[in-house]
Amino acid sequence: MKDIYILGIESSCDETSCAIVKNGKEDIATVIASQIDIHKNFGGVVPEIASRHHIKNITIVIEECLEKANMNMDNIDAIAITYGPGLIGSLLVGLEAAKTLAYIYNKPLIPVHHIAGHIYANSLEKEMEFPLLALVVSGGHTELVIMEDHYKFKKIGGTLDDAIGECYDKVARVIGLEYPGGPKIDKLAQQGKPTYSLPIPLQDDSYNFSFSGLKSAVINLNHKLNQRKEEVNKADLATSFQKVAIDSLIIKTKRALIQNNIKNLIVAGGVAASQGLREAIAKLQEELNLNITIPSMKYCTDNATMIAAAGYYAYKLGRRADLSLNSKSSDKLQ
């Protein structure tokens, strides 16, 4: 069978990335230009600044990727692009680049939903086995999704308010840690004890989550301690927060696996990089005898490798977009 090479482009938030993936599983070349150092001065991503940096970086990143792979556009079978969800100005930069390449080199254009990209980051680790449950934990999403086959997404639950990554970042900001705070909270949490009492949110029968109450509880607790001039033990607060946030994810994930009789679990999105979550998932694997996949650390946060991998399976299913494809700031997972 002929090998298929997909060139993926991702620019939905603050990473400009291009990658070439062979047959949906082999990373031939990945280039990521991160804007973290720019946005951390503002405590979060500033959309207008992000778009401008994508414009500056996009052609450099594409050229570097082809060079790294020692390939040219003649070797590429199709172009996969994140069309949404994300920051509209940022998305448009990648989309216009992808459309231009598709037009000039006469290549198929494959539209990829950003969360499908995070899910398919797992196919870079090993072949997906169905039915599976995907626990999606990113800066903008927290969802439980059942997949009976490739691109058959059935969302069974999601956050009613904040996404888990958003909550990590906010808590980090409150205790004075730099953006993005998720990794810093995760690191601090390894050093503390869960001494602060915080409630596990939304302990109901649904597969939904809620993190805004937990976020407010941490803000209020921090405020109260500051007012009383009591020192906040940052490591203990990080540990207490992370424990409750992860317990909440695990309780619902466990119930979804048991009630739907699913043994294959994958984790997707930036928060999949959390050591605390990885340990909790490993425990769950042992308890329920699961087949688990978690992306390598480098594929957890935003990258074009996952978009090219997702693009491969979309390509095989005959999914194509024409040059009228537009960016979407929000869209149903499809």
Interaction partner, residue 274 (Zn ion, ligand KG4, none; CB < 5-8 Å by kind):
ligand KG4
CB 302, min distance to Zn ion, A: 4
CB 86, min distance to ligand KG4, A: 7
Applying CB under 6 A, among 24, 84, 269, 311 the residue interacting with ligand KG4 is 269
Residue 12 contacts residue 82 (beta carbons within 8 Å): yes
CB 125, min distance to ligand KG4, A: 16
* Interaction between residue 248 and ligand KG4 (CB under 6 A): no
* Interaction between residue 94 and ligand KG4 (CB under 6 A): no
Residue 264 contacts residue 131 (beta carbons within 8 Å): yes
- Contact residues for 28 (Cβ-Cβ < 8 A; gap 6+): 5, 19, 20, 21, 22, 69, 71
**What is the distance between the alpha carbons of residues 248 and 280, in angstroms, rounded to a whole number?**
11
Nearer to Zn ion, 24 or 86 (CB): 86
Residues that bind Zn ion (CB under 5 A): 138, 302
SS3 72: coil
* Interaction between residue 295 and ligand KG4 (CB under 6 A): no
* Interaction between residue 159 and ligand KG4 (CB under 6 A): no
CB 176, min distance to ligand KG4, A: 15
**What is the distance between the alpha carbons of residues 183 and 176, in angstroms, rounded to a whole number?**
14
Give, as ranges, the residues between 104 and 123 that touch ligand KG4 (CB under 6 A): 118
CB 278, min distance to ligand KG4, A: 9
CB 29, min distance to ligand KG4, A: 20
Check residue 232 and report its DSSP letter. P
Of 152, 124, 119, 112, which is closest to residue 265 (Cα–Cα)? Answer: 119
Tokens for 98? 């992808």
For ligand KG4, how many residues bind (rule: CB under 6 A)? Answer: 20
* Interaction between residue 239 and ligand KG4 (CB under 6 A): no
Nearer to Zn ion, 90 or 240 (CB): 90
**AA letter at 185:** I
CB 274, min distance to ligand KG4, A: 3
**What is the distance between the alpha carbons of residues 80 and 82, in angstroms, rounded to a whole number?**
7
Residue 94 contacts residue 58 (beta carbons within 8 Å): yes
* Interaction between residue 271 and ligand KG4 (CB under 6 A): yes
Tokens for 8? 């993926």
Contacts 24+ apart (CB under 8 A), 200-205: 200/244, 200/247, 200/248, 200/251, 201/244, 201/248, 202/160, 202/248, 203/251
* Interaction between residue 302 and ligand KG4 (CB under 6 A): yes
Nearer to ligand KG4, 222 or 303 (CB): 303
Residue 293 contacts residue 304 (beta carbons within 8 Å): no
**What is the distance between the alpha carbons of residues 12 and 161, in angstroms, rounded to a whole number?**
21
Give, as ranges, the residues between 169 and 188 that touch ligand KG4 (CB under 6 A): 169, 180-183, 186
Binding footprint of ligand KG4 on the chain (CB under 6 A): 13, 118, 138-140, 165, 168-169, 180-183, 186, 269-271, 273-274, 301-302
